[in-house]
Amino acid sequence: MSELVSIDSELLLELAAMRMPFGKHQGQRLIDLPEPYVVWFSQQGFPKGKLGRMLQTVYEIKLNGLEYLFDPLR
């Protein structure tokens, strides 16, 4: 069974609104970042602070096949 922490709707809404502030995918919503890019962050280390926590949450959602949670937010 997945160890993914229960995700509330407020967090999902915040993830849907947050945009990548730098890099190749600057301006793209975190929920729409390509999976290989999010996996790369997991291997290299997520940024510190809120952005890192949000990217880690997106990674866990994608890793566990829960991307359908993002569908109503697109």
Cα separations in angstroms, 59 against 6, 32, 50:
14, 11, 14
pLDDT band at 3 (very low <50, low <70, confident <90, very high): very low
Cα separations in angstroms, 73 against 40, 41, 43, 50, 51:
24, 23, 27, 20, 19
pTM of the model: 0.84
- pLDDT tens sequence across 12-36: 899 899 999 999 999 999 999 999 9
Burial of 69 from C-beta contacts in 10 A (0-12 / 13-18 / 19+): middle
Q: Which residue blocks in the chain are alpha helix, DSSP H?
A: 9-17, 35-44, 49-63
